[in-house]
Structure 1
Amino acid sequence: MTTRFDTWMTARWRRELEANLSSLPDTDAAELRTRLASATVVDNDDIMGGRVQFGSLVTVFSIDEEEEQSFQIVSSDESLSGRGLLDQRSPLAQALFGAREGEVVRVLLQNGSNCDYEVTHINVPV
């Protein structure tokens, strides 16, 4: 599934990728430089509170599981780099985009069932 955020990355992730350029083989480094040149970099100053968007720090409460979880919505490859990072392509992230605190979103799971999440907090990374 292609989304409008496929070329987006957080400024933190861009800095991390740039720091690793010198350790890559020439062909991989050239490919990464091309990707970085075409990337839309989202700095923390670009992220507004109030609605869930790319780069937001979000806390949700799973109504079905009665469990709270927090994460930052980031690019697919950045989400693989650590805990607390949610792939922007995931069904949960897709359902959350545009939601406000207090709203409940329904996520269609891969097994065909639904899970409801209440957005409890939306923050900007520091």
Structure 2
Amino acid sequence: MNKTPLTVRGAELLKAELQRLKSEDRPQVIAAIAEARAHGDLKENAEYHAAREQQGFIEGRIKELEAKLSNAQIIDVTSLNAGGKVVFGATVELMDLDSDTEVTYQIVGDDEADIKQGLISVNSPIARALIGKHEGDDIHFSAPGGEKHFEILAVHYR
């Protein structure tokens, strides 16, 4: 099975969510089930069924997070020294040649991606076009919104 790349920050966020689910959410839903069970007839007890459904979601998410973390290849971006080359974890300053605007993105794993925070998935069209390029290079790629053109202004490893 292939390892999934993940930044240190992304791994910490997943671990924190896993810890919260195990130490806070799981005990709360167990208590809610016990309380609903105390009300008697379970067949017509909506609170009981809602709590059991919530428990299923929590247990599913715990298993999903544990699988992701066990299959993760955690990459420390700060230890990279790729000499201006765009690699996983790099923060890239770009000039959009179509609109003359500057944008900054960090290339992260699929589970960390959040375009509003400037975090793009390593599997996105723009990241695939950026990987392996250097400062000063122009990139062209097809995005869902059409053909895009960027110039790489700077590459940082932070």
Give the alignment's TM-score, normalised by structure 1. Answer: 0.84
1:72 is aligned to 2:106: yes
User: 14, 27, 30: which one pairs with 2:11?
Assistant: 14
C-alpha contact (below 8 Å) 1:22/1:29 kept by paired residues:
no
Aligned partner of residue 111 in structure 2, secondary structure: helix
Residue identity in the other structure for 1:93: A
CA distance in 1, matches of 2:103, 2:115: 18
Counterpart mapping for 1:47-62 below 5 A: 47-49=80-82, 50-62=84-96
Q: Structure 1 stretches (4+) deviating beyond 6 angstroms?
A: none
Residues 1-126 of structure 1: matches in 2 within 5 Å?
A: 7-24=4-21, 25-49=58-82, 50-80=84-114, 83-111=117-145, 113-125=146-158
The alignment yields a C-alpha RMSD, in angstroms, of 2.0
Larger Rg belongs to = 2
TM-score (norm 2): 0.68
1:71–1:84 Cα contact (<8 Å) kept? yes
Higher mean C-alpha deviation, range 99-108 or range 46-55: 46-55
Secondary structure of 1:73's match? strand
